Amino acid sequence: MATRLSKLLSLVVSTSIAATVASAAVGGELQKIMKARGLTEKDVIHAAKTYTPSGGRDEFIVFSSGGQSGQIIVYGVPTMRILKYIAVFTPEPWQGYGYDEDSKKVLREGNIRGREINWGDTHHPGLSEKDGKYDGKWLVINDKANPRVAVIDLKDFETKQIVVNPVFKSEHGGAFFTPNSEYILEACQYAAPFDNNYHPIEEYKETYRGGVTFWKFDPKKGRIKPKDSFVLELPPYMQDLSDAGKGASYGWGFTNSFNTEMYTGGIEVGMPPFEAGCSRNDTDFLHVYNWQKLAKLAKNKKNYKMINGIKVIPMSVAVANNALFLIPEPKSPHGVDVSPDGEYITVCGKLDTHASVYKWSKIKKLIKNHEYAGKDPYGIPILDMKKSLHGQVELGLGPLHNQYSNVDGEIYTSLYVDSQIVKWNYKKLKVLDKVNVHYNVGHLCGMEGKSADPQGKYIISLNKLAIDRFDPVGPLHPQNHQLIDVSGKKMDLLVDMPLPLGEPHQAVAIRASKLHPEVRYKMGTNTKTGKPHIGKTLAGQERIVRKGKNVYVYATLVRSHINPERITVNKGDTVTIYLTNLERAQDETHGFTVDNFDIHASLEPGETAELKFKADIEGVFPYYCTEFCSALHLEMMGYLMVKDP
Ligand code: CUK
Ligand code: CUA
């Protein structure tokens, strides 16, 4: 044991004194600690593979969905240290998100039919791409419950835009970029009428619809352009996860579905429950569509209808233009994942023990020769499953999602029921290795594992249940992300990380070296728009302006002073406070609140933010800096005086 440990430690320390240090450590201190904590040699090796000394950096940055929290969780690999929660669909007080006027504007873009929505069910984060590789510029994420997509700028890790899907009532198949970030794919989940009216469930087949939305993205500005976006109407099969083709299959998209039975559940007593009724058939449909062709069709008025302000291409138009096909896939599938070269498309069905590997060149040939096995009830051509398949492999129980590795042909798949990750070869159709995880894995996250340039090295298992893995904290357990070393022949489970923020459905990882976030803003920036803030205030320009019953305060913050220190208003006045953080020093954030008014701003160096409230109660209200910024932080305060005129 001592020899292997010395070897490892000399690798870790990697200096000439390593050997001395190692042997001393092994002989003395280290063995004492191992004994006291009950650690095995393997445990110590795992620790050495993940531990990073203070000030150290991670090789990969992971963006994980925060599930029902409506946020995104950012952490590093291999240390599994949480670095940030990005507020997206949910107010987040620390960041002032939803508590200052500028972030409220972003959050309220997510209102649906005039209603404020203050949570989101985030599932799938997606990183912007260039040639199918991550460029480290933009991050998007979907909200399943209230069909929306949000855009986050990776220059400051802040949410900049939320778009509401005007026709879907639910969605799960987003948010996935096309290879040059031309579009963001967002596929529907539970079919519903596209309009906002009531339609009886008996008219399911006629008036309920599924679809895929193609959100036009401007990769320079990092904004979705709803006016240039469009929807492809699809049958009321429950569309599911999607992936954009790349390389060989560039220009195409793939979307799974379940309930092609079009079962609508509980109509009459004695009918099977929903989950049984919608799993009767052995196969569902993989939707295959040409988004390049559809984008061209969406330019001509005769090819689309406007519904709720968005262009909708009817499926009949897509079919007539050879832009939409179906291929049977094992029933109730979950993930559809395109290989780095775009030639293989792997589909895993929860209720089938096999993974099905489709071959793009075979599909392309069938499409080119108009060789169809039939049509679905809506007239969409069906391609023969056998003729489209490269092959199938038995993986185990409950295969869900796939990630690719840097080794040619290598793929990793999560097995929900077996609680395992399986490594296999999708070209040779051969299982290579399996490792147990704890427990019930959903998605798994490879390092750039679904891009055209996967990095291998690690797989993270995003487990749905933690059960006995952590100290008990009541009936609601944290989620468990497990880091697995996949650099060797056998997979090696390294460490567990509890995630207590929501159910992190999917995570995407990018090389840390590809991210270049800023440490300060240009002085007076509205961080939500990137433009100079209308309330930008420099040192010496602080003032209070009254216009009728509106009071405007132009304030600055700098260690350790808020200027002005006294604001006097009349009861009933509307008060707008513009705050500029004059700091240039890294990490010198000031926070700001006025007690009792439910407002808060977080001001990063150079940022200007706007707070607004009605001074509707009389009294004396201290305001202060909420971030411990200096030795005189407590002194960074002032008074709002509200008097009855
Ligand atoms: S996920 Cu959304 S149900 Cu498997 Cu992509 Cu968890
Ligand atoms: Cu500024 Cu505390």
**Banded model confidence at residue 297, pLDDT cuts 50, 70, 90:** very high
Testing ligand 1's pocket by substitution, the residue of 122, 172, 336 carrying the most ligand atoms inside 8 A of its CB is 172
Please tell me whether the peptide bond between 439 and the residue prior to it is cis, using omega within 30 degrees of 0: yes
**Is 506 touching ligand 1 by the criterion CB < 6 Å?**
yes
Ligand 2 centroid to residue 474 C-alpha, Å: 36
Point out the ligand 1 atom lying closest to the alpha carbon of residue 123: 2
What pLDDT digit, counting tens, does each position of 192-248 carry? 999 999 999 999 999 999 999 999 999 999 999 999 999 999 999 999 999 999 999
Which residue segments constitute the domains of the chain, with CATH numbers given?
2-50 (no CATH), 60-514 (2.130.10.10), 525-643 (2.60.40.420)
Ligand 2 centroid to residue 210 C-alpha, Å: 51
Q: What is the ipTM of this complex?
A: 0.94
Region of 396 please: left (phi>0), alpha (psi -120 to 50) or beta.
left
**Is 625 touching ligand 2 by the criterion CB < 6 Å?**
yes
**Banded model confidence at residue 17, pLDDT cuts 50, 70, 90:** very low
Atom 3 of ligand 1: nearest residue by CA position: 505
Point out the ligand 2 atom lying closest to the alpha carbon of residue 626: 2
What pLDDT digit, counting tens, does each position of 51-98 carry? 999 999 999 999 999 999 999 999 999 999 999 999 999 999 999 999
How many CB atoms within 10 Å of residue 276? 11
Write down the pLDDT at residue 427: 98
The Cβ-side half-sphere exposure at 348, using a 13 Å CA radius, reads 27
Ligand closest to Cα of 441 equals: 1
∠ CA(414), CA(134), CA(92), 5° rounding? 80
Q: Taking all residues of the chain, what is their mean pLDDT, rounded to a whole number?
A: 94
**Is 443 touching ligand 1 by the criterion CB < 6 Å?**
yes
**Is 450 touching ligand 1 by the criterion CB < 6 Å?**
no
Give me the residues paired with residue 381 across strands: 375
Give me the residues paired with residue 150 across strands: 141, 162
Structure tokens at 188: 């529907």
Point out the ligand 1 atom lying closest to the alpha carbon of residue 443: 4
Residue 269 has pLDDT above 80, yes or no: no
**Banded model confidence at residue 16, pLDDT cuts 50, 70, 90:** very low
| Residue 412 near residue 403, CB atoms below 8 Å | yes
| Residue 141 near residue 109, CB atoms below 8 Å | no
Q: d(Cα 559, Cα 582) in Å, to the nearest integer?
A: 9
Q: d(Cα 486, Cα 455) in Å, to the nearest integer?
A: 11
Ligand 2 centroid to residue 562 C-alpha, Å: 9
Strand 133-143 versus strand 122-130 pairing type: antiparallel
Point out the ligand 2 atom lying closest to the alpha carbon of residue 588: 1
Q: Residues of the chain with pLDDT > 90: what percent?
A: 91
Q: Residue 410, SS3?
A: strand
Q: Which residue has the higher pLDDT, 279 or 573?
A: 573
**Element of type H or E holding 215:** strand 210-218
Q: Which residue has the higher pLDDT, 297 or 2?
A: 297
Ligand 1 centroid to residue 445 C-alpha, Å: 13
Residue keyed to tokens 């295969």: 399
Ligand closest to Cα of 579 equals: 2
Q: d(Cα 585, Cα 172) in Å, to the nearest integer?
A: 42
Q: Residue 378, SS3?
A: coil
Ligand closest to Cα of 603 equals: 2
Nearest to 74 by CA among 180, 159, 133: 159
How many CB atoms within 10 Å of residue 344? 22
Ligand 2 centroid to residue 542 C-alpha, Å: 18
Residue keyed to tokens 């290579």: 432
Point out the ligand 1 atom lying closest to the alpha carbon of residue 503: 6
Point out the ligand 2 atom lying closest to the alpha carbon of residue 590: 1
Q: Which residue type, as a one-letter code, is found at position 475?
A: P
Atom 6 of ligand 1: nearest residue by CA position: 505
pTM recorded for the entire structure? 0.94
**Is 172 touching ligand 1 by the criterion CB < 6 Å?**
yes
Please tell me whether the peptide bond between 564 and the residue prior to it is cis, using omega within 30 degrees of 0: yes
Residue 266 has pLDDT above 80, yes or no: no
Q: Which residues contact 286 (CB under 8 A, 6 or more apart)?
A: 254, 255, 256, 257, 326, 327, 328, 329, 333, 336, 345, 347, 358
Ligand closest to Cα of 591 equals: 2
**Is 241 touching ligand 1 by the criterion CB < 6 Å?**
yes
Q: d(Cα 91, Cα 177) in Å, to the nearest integer?
A: 26
Strand 133-143 versus strand 148-153 pairing type: antiparallel
Write down the pLDDT at residue 13: 44
Q: d(Cα 447, Cα 459) in Å, to the nearest integer?
A: 7
DSSP per position, 137-172: EEEEEEETTTTEEEEEETTTTEEEEEEE-SS-S-EE
Q: d(Cα 143, Cα 119) in Å, to the nearest integer?
A: 9
Ligand closest to Cα of 416 equals: 1
Range with the poorest average pLDDT among 175-179, 350-354, 491-495, 503-507: 350-354
Residue 5 has pLDDT above 60, yes or no: no
∠ CA(624), CA(88), CA(452), 5° rounding? 135
Point out the ligand 1 atom lying closest to the alpha carbon of residue 464: 6
Q: How far is CA 154 from the centre of its chain?
A: 13
Write down the pLDDT at residue 280: 78
Q: d(Cα 504, Cα 507) in Å, to the nearest integer?
A: 7
Point out the ligand 2 atom lying closest to the alpha carbon of residue 633: 2
**Is 238 touching ligand 1 by the criterion CB < 6 Å?**
no
Q: d(Cα 79, Cα 179) in Å, to the nearest integer?
A: 30
